[in-house]
Amino acid sequence: MGLETIIGLEIHVELDTKSKIFCSCSTEFGAKPNENTCPICIGLPGTLPVLNEEVVNLAIKAGTALNCNINMINKTDRKNYFYPDLPKAYQISQYDMPICTGGWIEIESGGKTKKVGITRIHIEEDAGKLIHLEDEPFTLVDYNRTGVPLIEIVTEPDLRSSEEAVAFLKALKSILEYAEISDCRMEQGSLRCDANISVREIGQKDFNTKVEIKNLNSFKEVAKALEKEERRQKELYNFGEGHKIKQETRKWDAGKGRTVSMRSKEDAHDYRYFPEPDLPPVTIKEELINKIKKTLPELASEKAKRFSQEYKLNEKDIDILISSKEIADYFETVVSLGSEPKEASNWITVELLRVMKQTEVIPVKAEQLAGLIKLVDKGTISRSAAKEVFDELVSSDKDPEEIVKKRGLSQISSSDQLEEIIDSVLNQNSQAVEDYKNGKGKAIGFLIGQIMKETKGKANPNIAREILLEKLK
């Protein structure tokens, strides 16, 4: 009996707005605890929410990018529950009339492309953060995140494996980043994912009982948790104990690498949704949707096609370059400053991304990298010297030429100067010359090495090699 896995995702994405969804507080990450708060976002009695228009605009943008219908009339609702990080004891969200419904995106997994349905996108406010201090009898609350705008994206149960789930998340992240809807930083919590998973016999029409998994903080954890839960459910089925799978919410414990039951269906909250009386329904005009559609930038898949045609790059390099819009834009800036595309791509995919494992921002300006590439191209410096210069550029605003001068890294490219050095090297290494003439090709490498040693690495290796071969004829 064959079993298949059914997965649907719920993704919370922080929108890239300057101010919060219902007040004018800043949404900036990393402020001092409770610095970005006001009477409205901490829900003091008597205060009222006013919807930030930018939130509606970004949600429309997301809906457009994910091929959804935009609902011209949608409304907000209150989701009621008690928790210390929720100052009004209700979250303003959207229940039965969300802003977007019925979309899809295309994903690639296991060599196949597949359409994944988007059920809905709705707007809502984020909650605060609890800080539990070890060995203290109290809990601290930081309300900076309270009222930060979110969209929740719910997929159809169209995913069939953890690989597909991760492929979906990567595709989604890329779209949202490219469209500048969110910075999608999972480690800062600006993209959060919950998963619903069930298994059923292949060919079966109905779905079996599903389990919700929360606390998935990276793509890796998503894959691990889903595989683990898939195995648990499949084993129960294969054992004829499929009925033991209960509808529940399980929390992924990344440290222990397993899921733990959080609450069963019976303990599920009754959120007592009802229409938010403090906000009138959101009405959207056709013109606004059209205007936003026009501002939608080129998405990753389109960019990949263009990079292949325009810059003749290979698929592997393109994948790396377009993995983030920031990097893709950076690449195009370097090229526009005169660098050869393949060369620019190499520097970015190898050197730049190596140092970016430690930093979030691009540490070298496009002008600096373009300047460096030009110096190599002209033969002013060697490739190895260029790497040295690059490492300094990471922490410096200086012009690459200045660094080359300061460090004395210019290559010796003048034939006269090189001939003199090569003659002396040949005189001192007659054995190697003898070996070469006896057919030992390796000796040439030794001789080049000696030339480099004499010039402290400054000899232009190509020119040196030419002269050397000429002299050994």
Partner 1 sequence: MKIHKMTIEEIKQGLEDKKITAEELVGTYINRIKKLDGKVGAFLTLQEEEALNAAQKIDEKIQKGLDIGPLGGVPVAIKDNICMKGVKTTCASKMLEDFIPPYDATVIEKLKDAGAVIIGKVNMDEFAMGSSTENSYFKKTKNPWDLSKVPGGSSGGSAASVAAGFTPIALGSDTGGSIRQPAAFCGTVGLKPTYGLVSRYGLIAFGSSLDQIGPITKTVKDCAVGLLAIQGHDPMDSTSVQHEVEKDYLDEIEKGVKGFKIGVPKEFFMEGLDKEIGRAIRKSMERLEGMGAEVEEFSLPIEDSGLSAYYIISSAEASSNLARYDGVRYGYRSKDFDDFEELIVKTRTEGFGNEVKRRIMLGTYVLSSGYYDAYYKKAMKYRKKIQKSYREAFEKYDLILGPTSPILPFTVGEKINNPLEMYLADIYTVNVNLAGLPAISMPCGFSNTKLPIGLQLIGDHFTEKKLLRAAYALEQELGVCNEVPSLGEEE
| Distances from the Cα of 317 to the Cα of 65, 108, 311, 320, 460, angstroms | 25, 17, 11, 5, 28
3-state helix, strand, coil in the chain (%, to 5): 40, 20, 40
Kindly indicate which of the ranges 116-124, 250-258, 265-273, 288-296 contains the residues binding partner 1, using the contact rule CB under 8 A.
265-273
Q: How many CA atoms lie within 13 A of 131 on its CB side?
A: 9
- Between 27 and 37, CB nearer to partner 1: 37
- Between 50 and 350, CB nearer to partner 1: 50
- Between 254 and 279, CB nearer to partner 1: 279
Among 3, 223, 236, 279, binds partner 1 (CB under 8 A): 279
Axis crossing angle, helix 162-178 with helix 325-336, rounded to the nearest 10: 50
Torsional class of 269: left (φ above 0), alpha (ψ -120 to 50), beta (otherwise): beta
Closest CA to 164 of 113, 100, 102: 113
Number of residues that bind partner 1 (CB under 8 A): 30
- Between 32 and 294, CB nearer to partner 1: 32
**Contact predicate 210/196, CB 8 Å:** yes
Residue 379, exposed/middle/buried by CB under 10 A (0-12, 13-18, 19+)?
Answer: middle
Using the rule CB under 8 A, is 43 a contact of partner 1? yes
Kindly indicate which of the ranges 162-170, 246-254, 270-278, 326-334 contains the residues binding partner 1, using the contact rule CB under 8 A.
270-278
- Between 44 and 72, CB nearer to partner 1: 44
Using the rule CB under 8 A, is 439 a contact of partner 1? no
Using the rule CB under 8 A, is 297 a contact of partner 1? no
In degrees and rounded to multiples of 5, residue 204 shows phi and psi of -70, 140
**Contact predicate 206/95, CB 8 Å:** no
Q: How far apart are CA 206 and CA 238, in angstroms?
A: 18
Q: Of 51-70, which residues contact partner 1 (CB under 8 A)?
A: 51
Question: Closest approach of Cβ 48 to partner 1, in Å?
Answer: 5
Among 2, 30, 46, 240, binds partner 1 (CB under 8 A): 46
DSSP states of 317-351 as a string? Answer: HHHHHHTSHHHHHHHHHHHHTT--HHHHHHIIIII
Among 18, 115, 220, 272, binds partner 1 (CB under 8 A): 272
Using the rule CB under 8 A, is 35 a contact of partner 1? no
Among 90, 237, 252, 390, binds partner 1 (CB under 8 A): 90
Question: Closest approach of Cβ 269 to partner 1, in Å?
Answer: 10
Q: How far apart are CA 7 and CA 223, in angstroms?
A: 12
| Distances from the Cα of 275 to the Cα of 8, 175, 192, angstroms | 27, 31, 26
Interface characters, 128-147, with partner 1 (x: CB under 8 A)? -----------x-x------
- 3-state SS, 268-307, equals CCCCCCEECCCCCCEECCHHHHHHHHHHCCCCHHHHHHHH
Among 44, 73, 260, 469, binds partner 1 (CB under 8 A): 44
Q: How far apart are CA 25 and CA 149, in angstroms?
A: 11
- Between 130 and 350, CB nearer to partner 1: 130
- Between 133 and 361, CB nearer to partner 1: 133
Using the rule CB under 8 A, is 192 a contact of partner 1? no
Question: Closest approach of Cβ 42 to partner 1, in Å?
Answer: 7
Among 20, 61, 78, 200, binds partner 1 (CB under 8 A): 78
**Contact predicate 466/451, CB 8 Å:** no
Question: Closest approach of Cβ 91 to partner 1, in Å?
Answer: 11
Interface characters, 343-382, with partner 1 (x: CB under 8 A)? ----------------------------------------
Contact residues: partner 1, CB under 8 A = 39, 42-51, 78, 80, 82-84, 87-90, 139, 141, 270, 272-274, 277-280
